[in-house]
Amino acid sequence: IGVEFIVNDISYTVYANREVIVSGGPINSPQLLMLSGLGHKQHLKSFNIPVVLDLPVGDNYQNQPSVGLGFPLKSNYSSFSTNPQLNVEQLSQLYYQQSGMLGQTNNLFLYNSTSTVRNKQWPNIQYSFTLHSNTINVYAILVRFKSVGTIRLQSTSPYVSPIIDPNCLSYHGDAQALLEALTFAFYMFEQSAITQYIEISDLFAPIGCPVCPGKYAYECVEGLQCYLNYNTHTAYHPGGSCRMGAIERPDVVVDPQLKVKGIKNLRVCDSSVFPVLPNANTASASIVVGYKCAQYIIDQYQL
């Protein structure tokens, strides 16, 4: 087994003594596998790609849907100076105590549950607050959901991006949960301790969206739904497109040791192997995948 690659328009092929590890991420890893003949048989045949193995590559693609909003701070407030005057004391606090102004982050997190969740100890919404010199923003992120999408080829060229269909909010419960999260986000801005520091604007919705006269934004269901439809995006936490699981399952691409099912000496090592996304950001879990993959290889070859 080996890898073909191109440098300066010259094609090279190298072969592995032991294994090839695919670590292109949840978009490029399934793309590379499909270009190599691993994927849904009919999909590969439609591009005249010789089928090596019929596998559900590119299925189960997940990305946390998110919707954000922000308001300007009142003129007499500022979250931080855009041109801070650093001094020895601040540098000392950062270096020796990991504290002080330079040791702070401008990102704060809050977790909450919507009415769609039975277990309130397992929240499904993450609120990510970010501060800038004259604005405060919050992103409501649905970290647990049922809507899944796909990654599919649109060309046999590795230089052409695959087709990404996140299929966000296709499950009604997901849409309801994110709408509730958005409602609470507006409530925090309009009816909490934050309100005194910000300029509230009636123009919260895109042009054409209804705005309920005489009501707060969080009370205007039609406006919130329209806002959600226009502004929902994903939270840069993709995964799941080369699902890991027991090899007898028909929806699995890699086994619990990250080996591609039915193929010798080939593993996938990135967030594409997640059966479901973690109930949080994906970076730490992705690092764990890398650590586990390294340990599997060390153990197998007694390195």
**pTM for this model (two decimals):** 0.87
pLDDT at 202: 57
* Number of domains within the chain: 2
Q: Which of 185, 208, 231 is the last residue of a domain?
A: 231
Residue 144 — pLDDT band, cuts 50, 70, 90?
A: very high
Q: Residue 39, class by beta-carbon neighbours within 10 Å (0-12 exposed, 13-18 middle, 19+ buried)?
A: buried
Mean pLDDT of 150-158: 97
Q: Which structure tokens are listed for 275? A: 């059966």
Q: Which structure tokens are listed for 183? A: 């409602």
Mean pLDDT of 52-69: 97
pLDDT at 128: 93
Mean pLDDT of 35-47: 98
In this structure, the answer to whether residues 121 and 188 fall within a common structural domain is yes
In this structure, the answer to whether residues 105 and 127 fall within a common structural domain is yes
66-70, 132-136, 139-143: least confident range: 132-136
In this structure, the answer to whether residues 84 and 138 fall within a common structural domain is yes
In this structure, the answer to whether residues 89 and 216 fall within a common structural domain is yes
| CATH number of the domain within which 73 lies | 3.30.410
Q: Which structure tokens are listed for 246? A: 């027991």
* pLDDT 10s digits, 68-90: 988 888 877 666 555 556 677 77
Domain holding 106, by residue range, is: 64-147+169-231
Q: Is residue 161 part of a domain?
A: no
Q: Pick 29 or 235 by higher pLDDT.
A: 29
Q: Is residue 164 part of a domain?
A: no
Q: Is residue 158 part of a domain?
A: no
Q: Which amino acid is at 196?
A: Q
**pLDDT exceeds 80 at position 248:** yes
Q: Which of 213, 231, 249 is the last residue of a domain?
A: 231
pLDDT at 89: 79
pLDDT at 37: 97
**pLDDT exceeds 90 at position 21:** yes
Q: Is residue 244 part of a domain?
A: yes
State the average pLDDT for the chain: 91
**pLDDT exceeds 80 at position 56:** yes
127-136, 138-147, 153-162: least confident range: 127-136
In this structure, the answer to whether residues 214 and 244 fall within a common structural domain is no
In this structure, the answer to whether residues 216 and 176 fall within a common structural domain is yes
In this structure, the answer to whether residues 53 and 89 fall within a common structural domain is no
- Assign 303 to helix, strand or coil: coil
In this structure, the answer to whether residues 212 and 92 fall within a common structural domain is yes
pLDDT at 205: 63
Residue 130 — pLDDT band, cuts 50, 70, 90?
A: confident
Q: Is residue 157 part of a domain?
A: no
Own/partner long-range contacts of 126-131 (Cβ < 8 Å, ≥24 apart): 126/280, 127/181, 127/185, 130/106, 131/79, 131/80, 131/106
Angstrom CA distances, 186 to 88, 105, 195, 267, 268, stand at: 40, 23, 10, 45, 41
pLDDT at 265: 96
Q: Pick 108 or 154 by higher pLDDT.
A: 154
pLDDT at 105: 67
In this structure, the answer to whether residues 133 and 72 fall within a common structural domain is yes
pLDDT at 106: 63
In this structure, the answer to whether residues 106 and 225 fall within a common structural domain is yes
pLDDT at 85: 64
pLDDT at 212: 84
Instruction: State what percent of residues in the chain have pLDDT above 90.
Output: 70
